[in-house]
């Protein structure tokens, strides 16, 4: 794993992205030189031709990221890859149709040639990408880019890490050995009395040693220090789990680890940059979604009596309450008894229009106004109702830490975990929220915004 702007990215994933974008640029360049794009226009003849091609490649990379081509399941699983490929082809077909419409309406517009060139190059590049991915997936024993890890473990943590590496982490990690700490005793000076850890690590050509134990009592710390001085990374369990899963393990983490670990840089500069990002993105989305907003409001009004918008008290930054604005997706009397209820599958309170706008996340659009007001951010933990916050804070340690940043329309938990409607779901989502709060920045915000496209298109987690 590489840490890029404080967010972890797997080396094979980064390598695939570089190869695929370079191939796409090569195809664009070749097609432009051969003048085989639909407008017969050589973009390279313009003064900013190369910049145009680079911009198209960046758009291509963002499109693949948004669909989820660089998620672990799409990088290493053929079934998921093919599913995402279908979505990708539909988008390319739509872009081709859009290019045809633009060409027909404004034949002299340069943008239409760019779209046509993009669509043509994408179709050709698509087969190359599939070939690369299938080849990559078909050779799981290709260990050149895998990190060779040696596990020093004990009890449940040791077993958990060992199982994770062999199953979920097998695509990026190579298990070179597991040693039970109960059998590797250390003396009073912290040196191993039974085995030479340095020799074990060298014999196994280990790149990293994972410490998977609840406590460090009896740990061969001097042996570990020797390994670290020799260039072998030594990583504690919580850091390993955060890096590999994109979440914080709430079953093990203690406030002391959070306080002393890297991250949580919630300073004035970060807040100002995030606020500027929120305002710009919100104004852009508000303009782009204006026709959809008007149509949705009309359909809601036609189907059922009651207001178009729905206001509800939520808990925001530092636990302060605010009124969230959404399109009404339920009957006006959904909570006539005044008791808050979790949303559930096949909820009979949801209208027909409401079911669609929930699945497509259209009901969230009015929250852009909350972002502009400063109650919310575009990216952050989802705001919860005070009634549920009070109950969840009693049952889930560290739950109130999610209020240290502004809540968001979308978030790291929303793109990684389905809709939550229970205490256990809230706990699982908090594990992702804490990762975001700890490692968040503009780069991770952009990744989450792009990943939200996949969630909306697939309808993941909608209720």
Domains of the chain: 2-138 (no CATH), 147-245 (3.40.50.10700), 268-458 (no CATH)
Q: Which residue has the higher pLDDT, 52 or 411?
A: 411
Distance of CA 426 to the CA centre of its chain: 18
The whole-number pLDDT of residue 463 equals: 47
Across the range 76-80, mean pLDDT stands at 70
User: Taking 60 as the threshold, does the pLDDT of residue 262 lie above it?
Assistant: yes
Query: In terms of C-beta density within 10 A (0-12 exposed, 13-18 middle, 19 or more buried), how is residue 139 classed?
Result: exposed
Across the range 209-218, mean pLDDT stands at 82
DSSP code at position 220: -
The whole-number pLDDT of residue 377 equals: 93
The whole-number pLDDT of residue 184 equals: 65
3-class DSSP state for residue 157? helix
| Cβ neighbours of residue 278 closer than 8 Å, sequence gap 6 or more | 371, 377, 378
User: Taking 50 as the threshold, does the pLDDT of residue 30 lie above it?
Assistant: yes
The whole-number pLDDT of residue 37 equals: 46
Name the least confident of 65-69, 183-187, 284-288, 387-391: 183-187
In whole angstroms, what is the distance from residue 7 CA to residue 307 CA?
A: 42
User: Taking 60 as the threshold, does the pLDDT of residue 43 lie above it?
Assistant: no
| Cβ neighbours of residue 261 closer than 8 Å, sequence gap 6 or more | 238, 239, 438
pTM: 0.82
Strands 173-180 and 7-9: unpaired
In whole angstroms, what is the distance from residue 198 CA to residue 227 CA?
A: 6
Across the range 104-125, mean pLDDT stands at 62
User: Taking 70 as the threshold, does the pLDDT of residue 350 lie above it?
Assistant: yes
The whole-number pLDDT of residue 269 equals: 81
Instruction: Report which secondary-structure segment, H or E, holds 154.
Output: none
The whole-number pLDDT of residue 358 equals: 83
Q: How confident is the model at residue 175 (pLDDT cuts 50, 70, 90)?
A: confident
The whole-number pLDDT of residue 432 equals: 95
> Which of 125-129, 175-179, 367-371, 415-419 has maximum average pLDDT?
367-371
Across the range 350-358, mean pLDDT stands at 84
Q: How confident is the model at residue 140 (pLDDT cuts 50, 70, 90)?
A: low
In whole angstroms, what is the distance from residue 235 CA to residue 228 CA?
A: 10
Average model confidence (pLDDT) for the chain? 80
Name the least confident of 14-18, 117-121, 267-271: 117-121
What percentage of the chain exceeds 90 in pLDDT?
A: 23
Q: Which residue has the higher pLDDT, 200 or 86?
A: 200
Q: Tokens 């409607």 sit at which residue?
A: 421
User: Taking 80 as the threshold, does the pLDDT of residue 411 lie above it?
Assistant: yes
In whole angstroms, what is the distance from residue 221 CA to residue 197 CA?
A: 10
Across the range 255-270, mean pLDDT stands at 82
User: Taking 50 as the threshold, does the pLDDT of residue 40 lie above it?
Assistant: no
The whole-number pLDDT of residue 325 equals: 93
Residue 233: which of 145, 152, 341 has the closest Cα?
152
Q: Which residue has the higher pLDDT, 56 or 394?
A: 394
Q: Which residue has the higher pLDDT, 334 or 321?
A: 321
> Which of 60-69, 95-104, 377-386 has maximum average pLDDT?
377-386
Across the range 255-275, mean pLDDT stands at 83
The whole-number pLDDT of residue 381 equals: 94
CB of 359 closer than 8 Å to CB of 459: yes
The whole-number pLDDT of residue 431 equals: 94
pLDDT single digits (tens) 296-312: 999 988 888 888 898 98
User: Taking 80 as the threshold, does the pLDDT of residue 179 lie above it?
Assistant: yes
């Amino acid at each position: 794993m590489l840490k890029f702007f404080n967010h972890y990215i797997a080396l094979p994933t980064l390598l695939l992205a570089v190869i695929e974008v370079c191939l796409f640029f090569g195809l664009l360049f070749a097609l432009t030189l051969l003048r085989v794009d639909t407008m017969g226009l050589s973009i390279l003849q313009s003064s900013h031709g190369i910049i145009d091609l680079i911009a198209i490649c960046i758009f291509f990379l963002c499109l693949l990221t948004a669909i989820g081509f660089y998620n672990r399941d799409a990088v290493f699983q053929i079934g998921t890859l093919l599913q995402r490929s279908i979505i990708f082809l539909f988008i390319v077909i739509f872009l081709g149709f859009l290019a045809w419409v633009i060409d027909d309406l404004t034949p002299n517009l340069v943008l239409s040639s760019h779209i046509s060139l993009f669509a043509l190059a994408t179709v050709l590049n698509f087969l190359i990408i599939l070939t690369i991915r299938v080849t990559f997936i078909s050779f799981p024993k290709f260990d050149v880019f895998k990190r060779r890890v040696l596990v020093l473990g004990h009890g449940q943590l040791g077993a958990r890490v060992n199982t994770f590496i062999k199953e979920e982490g097998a695509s990026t990690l190579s298990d070179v050995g597991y040693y039970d700490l109960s059998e590797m005793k250390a003396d009073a000076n912290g040196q191993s009395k039974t085995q030479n850890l340095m020799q074990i690590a060298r014999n196994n050509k280990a790149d990293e040693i994972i410490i998977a134990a609840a406590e460090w009592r009896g740990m061969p710390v001097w042996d570990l220090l020797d390994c670290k001085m020799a260039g072998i990374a030594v990583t504690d369990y919580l850091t390993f789990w955060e890096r590999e899963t994109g979440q914080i393990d709430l079953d093990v983490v203690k406030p002391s680890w959070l306080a002393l670990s890297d991250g949580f840089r919630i300073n004035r500069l970060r807040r100002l940059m995030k606020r500027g990002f929120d305002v710009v993105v919100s104004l852009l989305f508000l303009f782009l979604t204006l026709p959809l907003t008007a149509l949705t409001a009309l359909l809601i009004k036609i189907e059922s009596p009651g207001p178009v918008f729905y206001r509800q008290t939520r808990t925001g930054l530092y636990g302060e309450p605010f009124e969230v604005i959404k399109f009404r997706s339920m009957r006006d009397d959904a909570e006539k008894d005044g008791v808050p209820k979790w949303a559930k599958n096949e909820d009979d309170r949801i209208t027909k229009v409401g079911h669609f706008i929930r699945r497509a996340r259209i009901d969230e659009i009015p929250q852009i106004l909350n972002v502009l007001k400063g109650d919310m951010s575009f990216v952050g933990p989802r705001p919860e109702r005070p009634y549920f916050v009070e109950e969840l804070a009693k049952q889930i340690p560290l739950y109130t830490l999610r209020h240290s940043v502004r809540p968001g329309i979308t978030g790291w938990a929303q793109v990684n975990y389905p809709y939550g409607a229970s205490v256990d779901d809230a706990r699982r989502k908090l594990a992702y929220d804490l990762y975001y709060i700890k490692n968040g920045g503009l780069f991770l915000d952009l990744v989450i915004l792009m990943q939200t496209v996949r969630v909306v298109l697939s309808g993941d987690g909608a209720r």
